[in-house]
Structure 1
Amino acid sequence: EYVVRSFCHWVGNNETMGWSCANGDELCDSVQWLAYRRAPTQFRWVSSKVGN
């Protein structure tokens, strides 16, 4: 869920703030690589089963 929120909800604010979030340098690099891709990319949060 954290990864989905990082890329889909918080990325704009993190970029505006200069990637000062935790692991901002890795997130910035990942966003650049995703922008470079030609294929569409989807993030989907999948609930884990309790007890596994």
Structure 2
Amino acid sequence: MCFYHAYKHRCGHTRMVFQQLCQKAQMIQNKCPRGEEGIILATINVEFPCSGC
């Protein structure tokens, strides 16, 4: 499970930003595949809606 920061926008959308590989992923130097849960290191609340809104 790789590590991420979550940016939570006022509109309710959340953007996950990759921060660090987990031990398993470090061996192959690739992020964990989609569908595996990641660990959120920090959640940052953003005052503005996301660019899609």
- Structure with greater helix share of residues: 1
Q: Under TM normalisation by the shorter chain, which class is it?
A: under 0.3
- Structure with greater strand share of residues: 2
**Higher normalized contact order (CA 8 Å, seq sep 6+, divided by chain length):** 2
